[in-house]
A and B are shown apart, each in its own frame.
Chain A
Amino acid sequence: MIGLGHFLTLSAILFGCGVATILTKRNAIGILMGVELILNAANVNLVAFNRFSWAGEAVAQGGVPAVDGLMFAMFIIVLAAAEAAIALAIFLNFYNHFSTIDIERARMLSG
């Protein structure tokens, strides 16, 4: 039987993979993929929590479903798309500047 725990586990694994991806890639676009994974993990969480609610409240709801979790997930998808667009624009700019996509080369932030 599939419960909330299954979805949370999946989400946690995706999140961990996303973090690991960010930490182990030198390719900027790879890092972007890691970010996408993290966002997706969060989305899975939100949608799952929208489907399940704290024990006891389910009956009180009277069967009228709330969709707040779905709404948040939708906004996150929108923001992820926006973020990806901006990030790729920056990467293109970066590539034009350094002729590579390797973030090791981007050390201009050093203080």
Chain B
Amino acid sequence: MTPANLLVLATVLPLIGFAIVVLLSSRIGSPRFWPWFTVGMVGASLVASAIAYVTFMSGDGAVEVHAWNWLQIGSHADGSPRYLQIGPYVDKMTVLLFAMVTLISTLVHIYSIGYMEGDSRKNRFMAYMQLFTFSMLGIVLGNSLLQLFIFWELVGISSYLLIGFWYEKRGPQLACKKAFVMNRIGDMGFLVGMGILFVKFGGDLVLRAADREGGGVFGSLLLNYPGGAIDALHAGANEWWLTIAGIGLFMGAMGKSAQFPLQTWLPDAMEGPTPVSSIVHSATMVAAGVYLTARIFPLLTPAAHLFVATIGLITLVMAALIACVQTDIKRVLAYSTLSQLGYMVLGLGAGSYTFAIFHLVTHAFFKCCLFQCSGSVIVAAHHEQEMTKYGGLMKKMPITAACFAICTLAIAGASIPFLSIGGEAIAFSGYYSKDGIIASTVNYGDALAAAGMNWGAVFYWGPTIVAYITAFYMTRAFVLTFLGKPRDKHLYDHAHEVNWTMWAPQVVLAAFAIFIGWGFFKVGANLHDTAPAMAQPFEEHEMEHGYHFVHGALLHGFGWMLSIALGFVIYINGFSISSKIAAIPGIAQIHWWLYNKMGFDGLYDIIIVNIFKALAGLMGAFDRLVVDGIVNGTAWVGRELGFLIGGFDYRYVDGTVRGSGRAAVRLGSILHRTQAGNIRMYVLILFVGVFTALAIATPFALGWVWFGLPQH
């Protein structure tokens, strides 16, 4: 089987699993069977993806595209029908993301078995996870924008189902609604972008599968830039349309990847079960936005790139600052996800296609692991999520603590200073991808500065400083949870290491978090191969320049140690030092502001929700005063008329009816003697009647007799 076939198989398997579990799980099978069945399905998907990965990577790397005509949508200029083509689009990024998504999904499935133990709706949860995995794989596999959009919406609905899985509680209800609405806002942009592409640049760009002639958007990846069809698109007045289309499509990504200002749903999404958080924040949903941005990369004009980079920068700085003051362990991780997504989006905006996706992959492993660790802690702590109640849990749950520590180092981008093998630093996976992004932003910022925008430097100082902050807040979370003295004796006494279905996936993920970035595995190199030509303007020496900056700014590998040391010093004794710092006037206000998530929820409540409420009130008033007035007036007239007619009815109409009723009763009492129930008698009488009527009518009909009327 070719890689494309394998990937289609890998995509469909979870869907089959979903269907089977939904249809059969309530009827047959033991409760223990069905969760493992779903693991089997997604595991088979993983095997197929892994085979595809190995086959494709050992091949010549040529893009494999298949397309089947599905729906006719309009027609070409020459009158021939235009079809929406569906089918797989397979390049190195596709197989890489498939391997990543299926691996993480499998591990999360296994983890869910432990986490959802005892939940009466466990089977349904597993079914939703299958659907979620299927949808995400569909996005990655799609060969055209519209096909991507179909699965995009499927991801939206399955995330809605999963976040709101505990729908008996108020929090998940609101969170799933919020996630859905925020995503809808982004999707509107997506639709607008597709509409502009369809109308202004031809439907082929949206509908057709990629090919070397540049059929679909994905096909444009294969073209050289500058030069080729995309260059023609960029020319002249079209540039503005293309900018708007690109920003519109990116808005879809903003919704899914929770970029500013649509970021508020992601921290709330942790109301769902922790396995959902671990998969949403790593491999599936938020990855979809970054993936989309990468796929439409060649369409983005310089202006759109600037927009993307700015959004990414705002998100990553804002989220990192908020993460520093949160006390809910999942909330800290959620904001750290936001911040890391900001890195990826900034990287894409800055033209660093390769490192953005690279970071997506590495981040998926350590963030999934972090969430699973937090989930284990939450299970051990009887669903207490506040870090103020934690402390010292390392003794109770060593495996989880070790995994959390490894992933903290990975997200902090830890490396061993001054040591390298074969010219390559020895470091955790996060180091390679994140430093790559910062290095490329240096070039981007310099390019902006050269174009007269002197503030371009924020594009590399921002992520650099946030790299310090990242290490700090992750250390804070680790120290507050696992080190120090227990702050809640009762909770500490009852804590225990989780069972193997939960810690085993953590260990695997932690292992990946260590080595997935190593050059030996060629993840970055393979992604570099798929990058569109326009994403590779950086000459080697320019990248070197970027790396020089990074190494300098991060103190040649000592920067992360500094941050971690700071985190240890401040938080090793719980909140005793930090509460003093937070009490300093000035900082207190900032602390309050950050603790309330920079007030975005409040802001949206005040501005947007109130505007809509006011609008609704206006509409309501119009309804009450005008529409209701008309309706009530009509009703009043009708009622008065009704009284009049009613009186008439009672006296005359009813009188007639009652009179005829009495007459009928009298007649009936006479006639009922003839009704003996003998059907033949009835028929005989009937025919006698017919005969009599005919016999009487005949003379008149034939004109023998007439009532003095002139005969015709």
Instruction: Check A103 against B687 for contact (C-beta < 8 Å).
Output: no
Question: B258 to nearest A CB, angstroms?
Answer: 65
Is B676 in contact with A107, judged by CB distance below 8 angstroms?
Answer: yes
Residues of A within 8 A of B684 (CB): 23
At the interface, yes or no: A59 with Cβ under 8 Å from chain B? no
Assuming A22-B680, A23-B683, A23-B684, what are 19 further A-B pairs, CB within 8 angstroms?
A19-B687, A22-B683, A23-B680, A23-B687, A26-B680, A103-B679, A103-B680, A104-B678, A106-B677, A106-B679, A107-B676, A107-B677, A107-B678, A109-B675, A109-B677, A110-B675, A110-B676, A110-B677, A111-B675
Which of B660-711 touch A at CB < 8 Å? 672, 675-680, 683-684, 687
Complex alpha-carbon distance, A104 and B679, angstroms: 8
Q: How many residue pairs, one in A and one in B, have C-beta atoms under 8 Å apart? A: 27
- Whether a CB of chain B sits under 8 angstroms from the CB of A108 is yes
Nearest CB in chain B to that of A108: its residue: B677
Q: How many residues of A contact B (CB 8 A)?
A: 12
Q: How far is the CB of A101 from chain B (nearest CB, A)?
A: 13
- Which 10 pairs of residues, A with B, have the shortest CB-CB distance? A110-B677, A107-B677, A111-B675, A109-B677, A111-B672, A19-B687, A103-B679, A110-B676, A22-B683, A23-B684
Closest chain A CB from B502 CB (angstroms): 66
Closest residue of chain A to B673 (Cβ to Cβ) is A111
A107–B680 CA distance with the chains assembled, in angstroms = 11
17 residue pairs from A and B, CB less than 8 Å apart: A19-B687, A22-B680, A22-B683, A23-B680, A23-B683, A26-B680, A103-B679, A103-B680, A106-B679, A107-B676, A107-B678, A108-B677, A109-B675, A109-B677, A110-B675, A110-B678, A111-B675
Interchain nearest-CB distance for B615 vs A (Å):
59
* Chain B residue, CB-CB nearest to A22: B683
A107 to B675, CA, bound (A): 10
Interface of A is mostly: loop
In the complex, the chain B residue whose C-beta lies closest to that of A111 is B675
Inter-chain contacts of B675 with A (CB < 8 A): 109-111
Give the shortest distance, in Å, between B483 (CB) and chain A (any CB). Answer: 85
* A90-111, CB < 8 A from B: 103-104, 106-111
Q: Which residue of A lies closest to B687 (CB)?
A: A19
Bound together, the chains give a CA A103 to CA B677 distance in angstroms of: 10
Complex Cα spacing A22 to B687, Å: 10
Q: Which residues of A contact B (CB under 8 A)?
A: 19, 22-23, 26, 103-104, 106-111
Q: Which residues of A contact B680 (CB under 8 A)?
A: 22-23, 26, 103
Task: Give the residues in chain B near A106, CB-CB below 8 Å.
Answer: 677, 679
Interface size class of B (residues with CB under 8 A): 10 to 19
Considering the chains assembled together, what is the distance between the CA atoms of A59 and B237 in angstroms?
A: 76
Smallest beta-carbon distance A90→chain B, Å = 13
Give A98 to B680 CA distance when docked, in angstroms. Answer: 18
Residues of B within 8 A of A111 (CB): 672, 675, 677
Q: In the docked arrangement, what's the CA distance between A107 and B679, Å?
A: 8
By a CB distance below 8 angstroms, the chain B residues around A107 are 676-678
Contact with A along B103-141 (1 / 0, CB 8 A): 000000000000000000000000000000000000000
Q: How far is the CA of A13 from the CA of B394 in the complex (A)?
A: 108
Across the interface, name the chain B residue whose C-beta is closest to A25. Answer: B680
- Distance in angstroms between the alpha carbons of A109 and B679 in the assembled complex: 8
CB neighbours of A26 from chain B (8 A): 680
User: Which chain B residue lies CB-closest to A103?
Assistant: B679
**How far is the CB of B255 from the nearest CB of chain A, in Å?**
60
Taking CB as reference atom, which chain B residue is nearest A34? B683
Instruction: Give the Cβ gap from A49 to chain B, nearest Cβ, in Å.
Output: 17
Cβ contacts under 8 Å, B677 to chain A: 106-111
Query: With A and B bound together, what is the CA distance between A19 and B687 in angstroms?
Result: 8
Looking across the interface, which residue of chain A has its beta carbon closest to that of B680?
A: A23
Once bound together, how far apart are the Cα atoms of A107 and B672, in whole Å?
A: 14
Query: Which residues of the partner chain B approach A103 to less than 8 Å between Cβ atoms?
Result: 679-680
A23: chain B residues at CB < 8 Å are 680, 683-684, 687
Please give the distance in Å from B283's CB to the nearest CB on chain A. Answer: 63
- Which A residues lie within 8 Å of B676 (CB)? 107, 110
In angstroms, Cα B679 to Cα A110, docked, is 9
Q: How far is the CA of A23 from the CA of B680 in the complex (A)?
A: 6
Min CB gap A98→B, angstroms: 14
Give, as a whole number of angstroms, the nearest-CB distance from A12 to chain B.
Answer: 12
Q: Cβ of A22: which chain B residues have Cβ within 8 Å of it?
A: 680, 683
**How far does the Cβ of A107 sit from chain B's closest Cβ, in whole Å?**
4
Residue of A at shortest CB range from B691?
Answer: A19
Min CB distance B693 to A, Å, is 14
The minimal Cβ–Cβ distance linking B695 to chain A, given in whole angstroms, is 14
A24 nearest CB neighbor, chain B only = B680
Least CB distance from B685 to A in Å reads 10
Bound together, the chains give a CA A104 to CA B684 distance in angstroms of 14
Nearest residue, chain A, Cβ from B682: A109
Tell me the nearest residue of chain A to B684, going by C-beta.
A23
CB B330 to nearest CB in A, in angstroms, measures 68
Bound-state Cα–Cα, A22 to B679, Å: 10
Which residues of the partner chain B approach A104 to less than 8 Å between Cβ atoms? 678
Report how far A110 CA is from B681 CA in the complex, Å: 12
Please, which residues of chain A bring their CB within 8 A of the CB of B679? 103, 106, 109
Q: How far is the CA of A111 from the CA of B668 in the complex (A)?
A: 10
How far apart are the CA atoms of A111 and B678 in the complex, in Å?
11
One digit per residue, 1 when the CB lies within 8 angstroms of any chain A CB and 0 when it does not, for chain B 133-172 equals 0000000000000000000000000000000000000000
Chain B, 511-545, contact with A by CB distance < 8 Å: what is the 0/1 string? 00000000000000000000000000000000000
- Chain A nearest CB from B487 CB (Å) reads 81
* Chain A residues with CB below 8 A from B683, complex form: 22-23
C-alpha gap A31/B672 in the complex (Å): 25
A29 → chain B closest CB, angstroms: 14
Give the chain A neighbours of B672 by CB distance below 8 A: 111
Residue ID in chain A nearest B681 by CB atoms? A23
Across the two chains, which residue of chain A brings its CB closest to B668?
A111
**In the complex, what distance in Å separates the CA atom of A19 from the CA atom of B683?**
9
Distance of A101 Cα from B688 Cα, bound (Å): 26
* Complex Cα–Cα for A60 and B309 (A): 88
**Centre residue among B672, B675, B679, B684 by max chain A CB count within 10 A:** B679
Question: Which residue of A has the minimal Cβ distance to B672?
Answer: A111
- CA A19 to CA B689, docked complex, whole Å: 13
Report the bound CA distance from A23 to B675 in whole Å.
17
